[in-house]
A = this chain, B = another copy of it.
């Protein structure tokens, strides 16, 4: 069973990573890797941005700007929430980060993982769980390759699976 432990961020949403194939807990990336990613995106590697990007990669799940700010502020006392918003906007524009589609919750959520993946929404706990499955990806791509969509060219697919965790599935 590939199921990660659950992390709590205050009393907000719980998030974890769920994959039938690989299970990778976020590994804190090395500073030079962060610099590299920022440089490739054409963004300056300031202290703040390094911490913001690292937080995005490290924080379990799909943090809000507020949550990113909380973590960064813990490491670097005086960072402004406005800076976090501006940085996240830049990241999204540069393709470094995605905004996550979610129906619940007031705040926008961000995901540093720009690779294709799916989401499990637990109705009980409000968790948003990442789900990776190349087999499923292939199935969907084959379906649309065979069937096609008139007048629409699909680029990426993300399946939203709503349900709830059970003790034994």
Measuring CB to CB, which residues of chain A are less than 8 angstroms from any residue of chain B?
1-3, 18, 20, 98-104, 108, 120, 122-123, 129, 131, 135-136, 139-140, 143-144, 147-169
Are the CB atoms of B162 and A156 closer together than 8 Å?
A: yes
Chain B hits for A120, CB < 8 A:
149, 152, 154
Copies of this chain: 2
Q: Cβ of B162 and Cβ of A159 under 8 Å apart?
A: no
Closest B-chain residue to A135, C-beta based?
B147
Q: Is the CB of B151 within 8 A of A3?
A: yes
Distance (Å) between the CB of A167 and the closest chain B CB? 7
Among A3, A100, A122, A152, find the residue whose CB has the most chain B CB atoms closer than 10 A: A152
Say whether B159 contacts A1, CB under 8 Å: no
Closest to A123 in B: B155
Closest to A151 in B: B169
A127's closest neighbor in chain B, by CB? B152
**Judging by beta carbons under 8 Å apart, are A161 and B157 in contact?**
yes
- Whole-angstrom distance from the CB of A139 to the nearest CB of chain B? 6
With both chains docked as a complex, state the minimum distance between the C-beta of A138 and any C-beta of chain B, in angstroms: 11
Q: A122-B152, A155-B162, A159-B159 are in contact. List 9 more A-B contacts (CB 8 A).
A: A2-B150, A3-B151, A151-B169, A152-B163, A152-B164, A152-B169, A154-B161, A156-B162, A157-B162
